[in-house]
Structure 1
Amino acid sequence: MKKLKKTIIVMLTIVFAAALFAGCGSSNSNSGDEQKGQNALERVKKAGVLKVGLEDSFPPMEFRDNQNVLKGFDIDMANAIGKKLGVKTQFVGTEFNGIILALNSGKFDVIISGLSIDEKRKKQIDFSQPYIQNAQIIVTKSGNEAIKTSKDLAGKKVGVGLGTTSEKVVQTLQGIKEVKKYDKTTEELQDLLIGRIDAVIVDEPVGKYYISSPDKKGKYTVLNEKLTNEPMGVGFKKGDKELETAVQKALDELKKDGTMSKISTKWFGEDIYK
């Protein structure tokens, strides 16, 4: 009996020690996780990298050229912000439909991807002050005289970006025959050219870029009507106030020193900050 009691005591001691050790390990791990999440700006500066989430088929904001080089307005702006913060900029390609979820899961530090500020998104993430005043517009194939206003979209096939504000706008229009949703803006504009759809609802910078770029000139028509007024901003995970403040300070300085004007002229052919 004494031998049995002794065995039980030894076993309980081992179990208790193991549990205590595991508990200590878990506590240390959680403490490290909490420390990582306390201050996003400190984390970025310690790593020396600002990770930027984007969807890379949204010219002229962000896209890949024929050599697969990432470029665009947002790319130049993000690099300039990184320089102001004293860190490198790393771009993380993400499907636009899941970009907010990816930010909140920690896949990257900020979203700089032609992201329009709206009330639904403001409940999920925080935003910088607007850096572009955007609008939703209608693009048709050149020569299509049947569509001159949004009312003419009745009975037509219309393309929109999946997860974009154009997807919301099209729901307010009456009588549309079919709405086709696309992961990439370039795909819907290509389908417009080959006649699979009759029109595209898209962000104004994209529409204007397509009608002015040399290889697309004369192929598209952008209607004068603006369906919305929706500013674009940098997106932040809620609670990352230090990082948001630092990025906003960088943006303000870039506007003041003329950098944003140069980027605007490069990609839009005009200084939108005058």
Structure 2
Amino acid sequence: MKIRKILIAAGLACSVLGMGNLAAASEWKEIRIGVEATYPPFEYRNAKGEMEGFDVDVANAICGKLDAKCVWVEQSFDGLIPALQARKFEVIHSSMTATEARSKVIDFTDPLYAIPTQLIAKKGSGTLPTAESLSGKRLGVLQGTTQEAFAKKAWGKGGVQIVSYQDQSQTYADLRAGRLDAALLEKPNAIAGFLVTPEGRDFEFVGEVLSGDPILTNEIAMGLRKSDVKLKEAINKAINELAAEGTIAEIAGKYFQPGEIGLMQAK
């Protein structure tokens, strides 16, 4: 899962008939989308059990451009790529960073946005995002994310005990219970999912936003099978149309403060 800025990337075509040899939009009556649905404000279920969030609204706008219906398929984050390959759905849209390693296995659309990674810990703990400060402590990360990969690479051999979770809410529960000393998170999720809640009032961001490592490029895109070339082209066209129209920025304004994420520019 993930430098803080808000660049923009989303736009999609009302019809794919104008895309050369692309099939008509009617080719995709529905698009099954894999998602780890416990990750506010990107994707989560609201009090009514309805799927909600920034990624959800963007995907629905894309499906609208393609005259298709979005169908949400819930999956643990670390199981999203295997499930995509097993054809349980056509697209991954779950705040997934388009890394070089993942690109060897699946394909990605144009980037949609970029998000920063930062450490949180209890207020007054003095904890910092360094191997020295974290040595001997328990650090929580979401399994299968770039945060997990970075923590293992940067701190795994420095005496830091890295604890991986399939569900981000479990990370927060263990922070509250004192079973974790810190957690490495995408900043918007840390805010919406924990810090602004009553349970998170005793915690805060510590240290600066992490940068300077290729693992933390934090460009988020939608994942597809490498064979689904037409669908990728259709979604990219849609992403860039939505970006040019200002729709992505409008949706972002519903969930984020200005500058909280980086929306990629339309091509």
Partner of 1:77: 58
1:266 and 2:247 aligned: no
Distance 2:189 2:205 in 1: 10
Change (3 A) 1:110 1:42: farther
What's the TM-score once normalised by structure 2's chain length? 0.80
1 or 2, which has the higher helix percentage?
A: 1
Is the 8 Å Cα contact of residues 211 and 221 (structure 1) preserved in structure 2? no
Change (3 A) 1:47 1:240: closer
Partner of 2:107: 126
Q: CA deviation at 1:212?
A: 6.0
Secondary structure of 1:196's aligned partner: coil
Q: CA deviation at 1:114?
A: 0.4
Partner of 1:180: 163
1:230 and 2:211 aligned: no
Letter in 2 for 1:133: A
Question: Percent same amino acid among aligned pairs?
Answer: 30
Q: CA deviation at 1:158?
A: 0.4
Q: CA deviation at 1:87?
A: 0.8
Secondary structure of 1:159's aligned partner: strand
Q: Deviations over 1:78-132 (max 9, x none)?
A: 1000000011111000111111011111111100000011111000100011111
Partner of 1:199: 182
93-102 vs 201-210, which deviates more? 201-210
Partner of 1:241: 229
Matches within 5 A, 1:66-215: 66-141=47-122, 143-151=123-131, 152-171=133-152, 172-173=154-155, 174-210=157-193, 213=196, 215=198
Is the 8 Å Cα contact of residues 136 and 229 (structure 1) preserved in structure 2? no
Distance 1:150 1:84 in 2: 45
Distance 1:43 1:137 in 2: 43
Q: Deviations over 1:219-238 (max 9, x none)?
A: 43123231433211010101
Q: Deviations over 1:232-273 (max 9, x none)?
A: 101010121110011011111111111111111111122644
Change (3 A) 1:186 1:107: same
Is the 8 Å Cα contact of residues 121 and 203 (structure 2) preserved in structure 1? yes
Q: CA deviation at 1:211?
A: 5.8
Q: CA deviation at 1:146?
A: 2.2
Is the 8 Å Cα contact of residues 210 and 216 (structure 1) preserved in structure 2? no
Distance 1:268 1:254 in 2: 18
1:254 and 2:242 aligned: yes
Distance 2:25 2:173 in 1: 38
Partner of 1:19: none
Secondary structure of 1:180's aligned partner: strand
Secondary structure of 2:114's aligned partner: strand
**Structure 2 unmatched runs, 5+:** 1-21
Distance 1:150 1:253 in 2: 42
Secondary structure of 1:124's aligned partner: coil
Is the 8 Å Cα contact of residues 53 and 112 (structure 1) preserved in structure 2? yes
Secondary structure of 2:89's aligned partner: coil
* Greater gyration radius: 1
